[in-house]
Structure formats: structure tokens, C-alpha cells
Amino acid sequence: MSKSKTKNDEVEITGKFTDVVGTPTILLLPARNYKFKVFEENFVITIPRKGKYVDFDGKMFSEGDGEFNLLQYDKSKKQHVVFLPSLTKILFATGQYPDLKDGHAFVPLAFVIKKDEVEIVGNVIEMVKES
């Protein structure tokens, strides 16, 4: 059970959950101040906009994993959609998932969407334990 504060009241979040072992995609932390270090170097990871997972890594993925199209157009809503969970799979499939140490995180700053590829620009941070 956790609690989430809104502007005017406090909302209790309860319910079922699933135990998961894996790598979460982009996430938001609870809204509070954290101590962390930001490494100055910007990193750019370039991934394809679309393709088949198995074409990039036939050992980790199979035909059953299907295809991805990072920027899809929803005709009914007349808008583009970026399906964020596919980012992690694409990074693993293309062998570009950052090699991070415990306590480090890659923080995306921008997505540059081009015709055939997407550039993910970001920094690495290191969380500092409270003393």
C-alpha cells in the first residue's frame, strides 16, 4: 500500500500487484528531493525506428516477439504514439542497453526522431545514499 498526494487531498493506492523481475522502462520517482550526482558527459544512443526484434538478436528474441515501430500513427485519433516499453526491448535487441553500475541510472533528456532512427540523448546519474 502506498499513498500519493494530489494538490487538494491524499489518495490511497491499493490493489493487486505482480512480482516482476526485469528492467523497468522510463519511470517517475515519488515527487521529492533526492541526492544524486549527474555525470557531465551527454550520451547519444541511436536505435532504429522500426524492425523485427529477431533480426537484431536471434539468440534473445524469436519471430514470436514480433516487430516494433517506435513512432506509430493512430489514424482514428490523428496523432503519433511512442510506445515506451518497446524502448527497453529495442535497446537489448540492438545491444545498446547502457552498462550501468548499481546505483546508476540513465536519464533521457531528449528523443530526436528521424526518418529511419531515433536518437536518445541523456545523462548518467548516481544516486547518493542518505547518511
Q: How many domains does the chain have?
A: 1
CB atoms < 10 A from the CB of 44, how many?
A: 10
Can you tell me the distance from the alpha carbon of 111 to that of 44, in angstroms, rounded to the nearest whole number? 10
Question: pLDDT value at position 84?
Answer: 86
pLDDT in tens, 82-125: 888 889 999 999 999 999 999 999 999 999 999 999 999 999 99
Residue 15 counted as domain residue: no
Question: What does the block give as the cell for 79?
Answer: 496523432
Residue 84 counted as domain residue: yes
Residue 93 counted as domain residue: yes
Residue 116 counted as domain residue: yes
pTM of the predicted model as reported, rounded to 2 decimal places: 0.78
Where in the sequence is the domain holding 54, given as residue range(s)? 29-127
Residue type, 23: T
Residue 12 counted as domain residue: no
Q: Are strands 79-82 and 71-74 parallel, antiparallel or unpaired?
A: antiparallel
Residue 52 counted as domain residue: yes
Residue 100 counted as domain residue: yes
Residue 7 counted as domain residue: no
CB atoms < 10 A from the CB of 107, how many?
A: 13
